[in-house]
Structure 1
Amino acid sequence: MDEEEINQLFKSKTAANWLIPYRKKWHLQENEGVTLYDPAGQFFGMGIRKEDKLRYFDYHSTKVLDMPPKVLDGTKYTHNFEQSVCIQQALDDDIKIQIIIGKAGTGKTHIAMAAALEKVFKDRKYDSIKLIKPVITKSRLGEDIGFLPGSVKRKLLPKMRPFVEKLRQFTNDSDTDEGYKKLLDSGVIEMLNLADIRGADLANSFVIFDEAQNANPFQMLTLGTRLGEDAKLIVLGDPTQIDSIYLDKYSNALINLYENALQNSAPFIAQICLVQMVRSHTSKWFEDSIQMARK
């Protein structure tokens, strides 16, 4: 950006005017985020494309997803640049579909769950949170949930463990199960089997579809066509972690949806790839070594 544009931007004190005319040479998708630098190469903020404008926001003042005390007990989320854009997308009510691709440790689950809690319990934008994962009938890791006893919730609970851990963290409930159990028992947070999605009520819901790399495009279509105007869908996944023997890194629902979103850009769709990880050296070694061995 040139100096004149930067000066005009900072002359305004109202959020409505913190918009920069979009330039085609930037080649940005709708809702794509970028870092902004002045002519001297100094970083001064970030921007997200909104149709013919680039909306500026200050990285350092990015909303950090503080929940109401009863939900998060003041828990804050430390974010990097790419996570800052991801948070903006997750909290944007005009974005109805968000696709987040990234390996374990990049913050996918944390951002999605925190945004869902904020939108449902604080903003009252949605009535419920739906957590969905695909059922794998032939897995590299074992059998599907049909071989386990109990209700659908009990069967799905082990698979939803990352979300449960986040709920415990957000409710300051690390030692007991009281907080997250109350949320689950209230019916506001519901775990769903993807195979039964045709009969599910997704109206006015904040829907999180996790591990989409283990679903096929038809399953994604079935889920997507049941979303109404009053629902939001966040799709999470890592194309390098495919458990189904019937899918690969090209044929899975996650990549299919991501590529279609790139080809058919729309104001209500956002996609982002998270790269920066916070993981142990041993965990990263296994991740890199096993993936290299598969190639």
Structure 2
Amino acid sequence: MAHTIGVSGLRKRYGDVQAVDGVSFEVGAGEFFGILGPNGAGKTTTLEIIEGLREPDEGEVTVLGERPWPRNAGLLPRIGVQLQASSFFERLTAREQLRTFGSLYGVAAARADAMLETVGLADKADVQVEKLSGGQAQRLSIACALVHDPELVFLDEPTAALDPQARRNLWDVLREINTEGRTIVLTTHYMDEAEILCDRVAIMDRGRILEMGPPATLVRGLAAPTRVSVASGTLTPEDARSLPGADEVTDDGVSLVVSTRDPSAVVAALAARDALTGVQIHGATLEDVFLDLTGREYRA
């Protein structure tokens, strides 16, 4: 696979804070690549260096075969950037907003109008941006990043603060964009989002990449127990602890949960006791991998 992005030995310091500390990775053409990490992990700084918005202290970066710094005007028509905070021209409608962005790249009005359809905002074309919902504003922001048909798209926490329905609608938009062959680099705090959308993810903390690979591969590599749950009262916690393969049992009054390394033995034993009411089986997730690597303490 051809490489769209190459990062080697990247470092960036702000005073006493080492924001990025020796980061190296590559992103293939057409790949959906995620960068995950807690607050202050260095995700946004890494992205801004790759985009050519910040100068690295050390390291090398190539984007589409070129160096983004010093600010490379030749790259601008080939990349699209959606930042954490979206800023629009005041009092313009969604159509006028998108046409204005498009005009900066010599894009025809018809192309800008077509992007409204792509992101599901055709019915909001004449609505002023101040009156759009959070999800609609995020979709318009992504449309602005795509209006000039870039080869590479950077999305910095595009679904932050959106409700579940708006997030999932936006996921559909992102899948379609990627299916069209564009390379996407995404930062997000939502593990389910990364697990569903990304071909590969890099988990960062304290400026370093801790693990990198396809989400399913990272999850399989985590030696985490499977959780088998049934409705409380189906059997007592004491009976559950006697089940073959049961390692730990908890009961919160709603669900009785058995943690096990041998889920088939536990499920078979529950079936033999006719105790499968409300049964659910939960394996490890990317969130488990994330917490195992970065810890569980709160980060402001």
Taking structure 2 as the reference length, what is the TM-score of the superposition?
0.33
Larger helix proportion, structure 1 or 2?
1
Taking structure 1 as the reference length, what is the TM-score of the superposition?
0.33
Larger Rg: 2
Q: Which has the higher contact order (CA 8 A, sep 6+)?
A: 1
